[in-house]
Structure 1
């Protein structure tokens, strides 16, 4: 727009200069200038055109100034919005980074814990493998017993309640004399011989059954040996009987 105004002003100046050039050319050809025509009359149209062009240019400059001011306001608003958006974006990025760092720290701790457990388990497996190799080479290995645990022993029985029970038993049987009391006391203390004999016999039979159950192969082997021996002796007797 400013270029258009400059072109108009230059065109007006050229139009004003054109009669002057024509007059100079005509004066050079021998014609004489009329001194009665004032020079101001020729300047009035030119001044009017210049004033009009300057007025239009001023209006354009005013519009351009207003546009520039509005543009500056819009630029400032855009800068403020950009700054707010930048701060908001930085806040979101920082929050996301903090969360990511926390998650990474947790994962690292969990991974380290799992690695520690794996290393411990591997060491235990190595020890078991070493023990198995030793057992395979030596044919067996002794298991080390742990420390003995001390179990509290019960207090020694002094027979405090037994006396009370004996008194009640004597009273229940209706003892009236000292001899009867002695007989009852002996019957309570001593076990009859028959019961002791039967009990000992049952214990011996139980021990014998346990021994036979624990050595069945030996029993069968002895039985086989006896059978083979008797068979061999019978064959020897037959051979001896057949001799002359």
Structure 2
């Protein structure tokens, strides 16, 4: 049975110190503390994928497991912030879940596997070249034809299709409107996020530079190097400001929950 005094000490410890201890003894109690401290990140990232044909609770569960993977693999000695390390891991696992588990149309396995290669190639090429890869670049990288790449990319829209003729099931005045009546243009904003008010209020405490980094990193999935190049500042500066923003976000979240 774990010593109560030690348990209390763990709860009071700095996160980095906990990671150092966990890296040597893999104590599950410590891991649980680390998980609790970073669930805000899971919720923030998981909410980016709501209204995509999958229940939020399923996405949240996948993201939570990804958080555990990230905690187990994180090496505090390398100097990277855990949030920067964990974010691509969590997003990657969510996207993998969509690719592997949510196909509802009869898409050939060959096309599903090709689509996975394409998504992996996109990430690698974008990191390498600092820009979105063209179909030709992806095809050359994975050794496929451009037609095969386009076919797989089209097939990727086979996630949980919903009839455009389906109507609203609630008791509101516009319940007879169909989905096609409601479709509008895609908007890259925080409208689809349940905690819009929380996010907007949080951003009021950030300066203009911090707001841009916050949006670019967590909602536009831009890399630190891309942001640094766009703003003509060093990547180290972006990394430092990101750590500062995350600390503010964590404090604000804990204060409101």
**One fold, TM greater than 0.5?**
no
The bucket for the TM-score relative to the shorter chain is under 0.3
Give the TM-score, by structure 2 length. 0.13
Which entry has the higher C-alpha Rg, 1 or 2? 1
Q: When you count helix as a share of all residues, which structure comes out higher? A: 1
Q: Normalising by the residue count of structure 1, what TM-score does the alignment of the two structures yield?
A: 0.14
User: RCO (CA 8 Å, sep 6+): is it higher in 1 or 2?
Assistant: 2
